[in-house]
Amino acid sequence: MKNKKRVIIPIGPYHPLLEEPEFFSLYCDGETVVDVEWEAGYNHRAIEKLSESKHWDQVTFLVERICGICSTSHPFAYCNAVEDILGITVPERAKYIRSIIGEMERIHSHLLWVGLAGHFLGYNTVFMWAWKYRETILDMFEMITGNRNHYAMFRIGGVRRDIEDGDIPSLRKVLGEMEGKLEMLTRAVLDDPVLAVRLKGVGVLTRRDIKDFGAVGPVARASGVDFDVRKDDPYAAYPLVKWKVITTGNGDVFDKAVVRLLETFESVSIIRQCLDAIEGKKGEIENQVREVPAGQGIGRHEAPRGECFHYVRSDGANSPVRHKIRAPSYVNIPTFKASCTGQTISDVAIILAGVDPCYCCTERVAVYDAGNKKKLYGFPELVEMSRKKTERIIKGEMK
């Protein structure tokens, strides 16, 4: 039996390169990954427990701060859950406003992801450009909601602020410009031969893997699983406007990138239709809710990363008695076990990025030596390996 040295590479938990602390242990045989283990909890903030001590309306602000990138997704799902307990719907104008905010968030989140993916591959220009154009969306958020993140727009029974007619022309202008930039980024990704070699066939997830882990969002849609909460369990303005679900079939990182980029075009279309529906009209933006009766409710929202699921139970008092929050990354990140196994170490960084983990729920990667448990590489080394591989492809050494 040859002396096979199994290598474990640790990435994390705390590192300046990564947004939030995470921990993955990759068990490697030479250059190939054979197993992945995920350790979480470095960012545990006991939000479910805190929820039980906050008033119903205060919980909206608490869950908004679970994540900065998808900060609307959690209040959206939470409000859907409490409205499920009550059995009410929100006024029509509020539905359109909720969808507008949700879709603007999707655009800015996917642009952020495009930038990060470019960064991991070594395309720093893509990183800079994507984040530069993302700024215009954030400025729009500040204009409409008062803040670039944590929009404080949601309330049980409706929305807190209205979108004024005076703000709509600027929003339309930004959407028009955004379409051009998104077109450029999408074409750049689809046409680039280096990216094709780098990303196609890498980190493939089969439909079986998706089912075993319950993966959702673009991760699942890239593998051909046609599930989108907005279409299957409609809420807000999604059944009132025309749009389509983007699905591809190969399940590799390239497809995940394609799904995300094409989704942003759908988002632009949805926002435009919603603006047409509310411009020049007046309407109620809130169904006032005075108390929440005993019962249980489930609310979901298609966050940029997948299905955000909230389960809320009430006993008629002022606070939830149980609040279960499941962010999409909770089920997407374990798919590393399936997508990283059999891949080379230099691809790990991009496979990690392909899942778009909202790190607020997750951690970083570490690679150890399986034999003597020595730390071999940290995350910056892995990113460096990923970039070097891209360079080798560019130079034509790899096909």
Residue numbers at the binding site for other proteins (CB under 8 A): 38-41, 44, 46, 48-49, 52-55, 57-58, 61-62, 65, 84, 87, 125, 129, 132, 135, 139, 142-147, 150, 152, 160-161, 184, 187-188, 191-192, 194, 211-214, 227, 232-234, 295-298, 300, 307, 309, 311, 313, 322, 324, 326, 330-331, 334, 394
CB 367 within 8 A of CB 377: yes
Question: Which residue, 25 or 145, has its beta carbon nearer to other proteins?
Answer: 145
Phi/psi for 4 (5° steps) reads -85, 115
How many angstroms from the chain centroid is the CA of residue 38? 18
Give me the least distance between CB of 36 and other proteins, in Å please.
Answer: 13
| 170 versus 250: smaller Cβ distance to other proteins | 170
> Closer CB to other proteins, residue 1 or residue 46?
46
Nearest to 394 by CA among 200, 232, 227, 197: 197
Q: 3 vs 288, which CB is nearer to other proteins? A: 288
How far CA 399 is from CA of 20, 107, 195, 199, 222, in Å, comes to 34, 33, 11, 12, 24
Q: Which is nearer to other proteins, 30 or 239 (CB)?
A: 239
Report the nearest approach of other proteins to the CB of residue 211 (Å). 7
CA dist 177 and 335 (Å) reads 36
Residue by residue, DSSP assigns 94-120 as HHHHHHHHHHHHHHHHHHHHHHHHHHH
- Beta-bridge mates of residue 27: 8, 35
Dist. CA 340–CA 67, nearest whole Å = 26
Token pair of 192 as six digits: 């680039």
Cα 104 to Cα 109: distance, rounded to the nearest angstrom: 9
Least distance (Å) between residue 383 CB and other proteins: 19
**Of residues 341 and 380, the one with the C-beta less far from other proteins:** 341
Residue with tokens 């969002």: 217
Cα 9-14-19 angle, rounded to 5 deg: 105
Listed residue (108, 90, 105) closest to 237, CA to CA: 90
Report the nearest approach of other proteins to the CB of residue 374 (Å): 20
Nearer CB in complex with other proteins: 307/345:
307
Q: How far is the CB of 30 from other proteins (least distance, A)?
A: 26
Nearer to other proteins, 6 or 324 (CB): 324
- Is omega for the bond preceding 13 within 30 degrees of 0, making it cis? yes
| Distance in Å, CB of 120 to other proteins, minimum | 16
For residue 259, the minimal CB distance to other proteins (Å) is: 17
Distance of CA 133 to the CA centre of its chain: 18
* Nearest residue (CB) to other proteins, 161 versus 392: 161
Gap between the Cα atoms of 399 and 396, Å rounded: 7
Distance CA 90, CA 133 (A): 33
Least separation in angstroms between residue 134's CB and other proteins is 10
CB of 298 to other proteins, least distance (A): 5
Residue among 155 and 345 whose Cβ is closer to other proteins: 155
The least distance separating other proteins from the CB of residue 282, rounded to whole angstroms, comes to: 18
| CA–CA separation, 217 and 104 (whole Å) | 17
Q: What sign results for the dihedral spanned by CA atoms 33, 36, 42, 48?
A: positive
